[in-house]
Chain A
């Protein structure tokens, strides 16, 4: 059963109540004082179903329900040199149930992750010098669940052109992950136990450019290198002689995604957002993504956004379906997330901005709701609905 994320709700209510208190500040204005700029709450409900679970070797239920919720507080202050310091504290929590994880040990109800919570706090600091157009920042993040821990550290910098029409940015990040070696119940004998590490080193280079009064574009290149235990210990693989083992994948992976994103304001009511991404990695996976959204402004404060995303990928060279892997191969997986497929994702978003507040709450000035339906060629289908509420000082 999915537990209600009480910590998130309590945190959220405390923020709302803090905003609802009428306070009068008669003290002298201090420009450098740290102040809350905005608070964001994002909640989603996600469900999926399919019949290619990796835990059971490429067959079996992929049914999963997930309730992710995040809340962040953004604060800012100015230092003696008038540089703007921004701080974001974010707390996220996923509460999920997974049918496939319950099959690690089908005879018990204590399987890892059959029902679990994931917590992911993040702290971000940015310092912007508006005179020079330079900005630097740092991020510290974590992700904690029953059998998996991840700690992320990142630094970033950006430089604006003098006319603020062009920006180049660089971000360096590393994620140091630890996973518990939990094997399928029938394959535990003789295997090492304890923890294994998985490390990710990600670089992101971005160049954005204002083309004219209505059009801007950005190009993004995110080379990423991973090393360590990149397979999952509880994913089964069945060979073509019907014997069974656990998934085995190489100890490193190098990825190069390149994306081009553009936004265009057409007339006075229509905004077109488009993305094309090409992806390549050294496991022989190549992918193309096209994403198109059109935000229609019904009024200056209400907009409706239909969207469509097309995605296609080739299989990694180690993939084969259930009971068709060759026993002589060094690496093998039956995880359909790494198979060849096309997918379609379409839906609708609604955004309401209320300068005077929503439901009488003057601080609650924006709400956005979005629903999407996803279909993958392998038979996996999913639905997601999300809400974003923004509270501003």
Chain B
């Protein structure tokens, strides 16, 4: 996969979508406020996130933990 293309696509996607933002009123946030729309790591994923930090070289940048603890095993 051409990751440079993917990165450029992601940046372009973000800019285009951000420029198309509409001011959404509180009473219009029925979908946005749904519990499953949250942007952070979900609690049920916290162990997955920990083992991915330990078994892979990359960490951070996903809304989860980025340090502390050994992960020696």
Contacts and interface: CB of A to CB of B under 8 A. Distances in A.
A70 B36 CA distance: 21
**Count class of interface residues, chain B:** 35 or more
Interface string A229-263: 00010100000000000000000000101111101
Contacts, number: 220
A150 B69 contact: yes
Interface string B37-73: 1110011111110111011111111110011111011
A279 B47 contact: no
A323 interface: no
Contacts of B45: 370, 386
B2 to A, nearest CB: 11
A232 B58 contact: no
A289 B68 contact: no
A259 B63 contact: yes
Contacts of A212: 20-22, 24
Contact of B10 (A64, A145, A260, A384): A260
Given A211-B18, A388-B44, A216 B72 contact: no
Given A113-B73, A214-B32, A163 B24 contact: yes
Nearest to B7: A278
A40 B44 CA distance: 10
A291 B63 CA distance: 13
A165 B23 contact: yes
B24 A219 contact: no
Given A220-B62, A288-B3, A368 B44 contact: yes
A175 B62 contact: no
A381 B62 CA distance: 22
B61 to A, nearest CB: 3
Contact of A277 (B14, B18, B62, B69): B62
Nearest to A300: B34
A214 B14 CA distance: 15
Given A202-B60, A337-B55, A177 B68 contact: yes
A282 to B, nearest CB: 12
Contacts of A210: 21, 24, 29, 32
B64 to A, nearest CB: 10
B66 A337 contact: no
B68 A338 contact: no
A173 B3 contact: no
B44 A42 contact: yes
A353 B59 CA distance: 31
B66 A259 contact: no
A259 B43 CA distance: 19
A62 B48 CA distance: 18
A320 B68 CA distance: 26
20 contacts: A120-B69, A143-B70, A200-B67, A200-B68, A213-B29, A221-B61, A232-B72, A234-B72, A258-B61, A259-B62, A263-B37, A263-B38, A271-B36, A271-B37, A277-B58, A277-B62, A279-B59, A281-B58, A313-B57, A338-B57
Given A217-B18, A220-B63, A305-B36, 18 more contacts: A48-B55, A118-B69, A120-B69, A175-B68, A210-B24, A212-B24, A216-B32, A219-B14, A234-B72, A263-B36, A263-B38, A303-B36, A313-B58, A345-B52, A370-B48, A384-B48, A384-B51, A387-B44
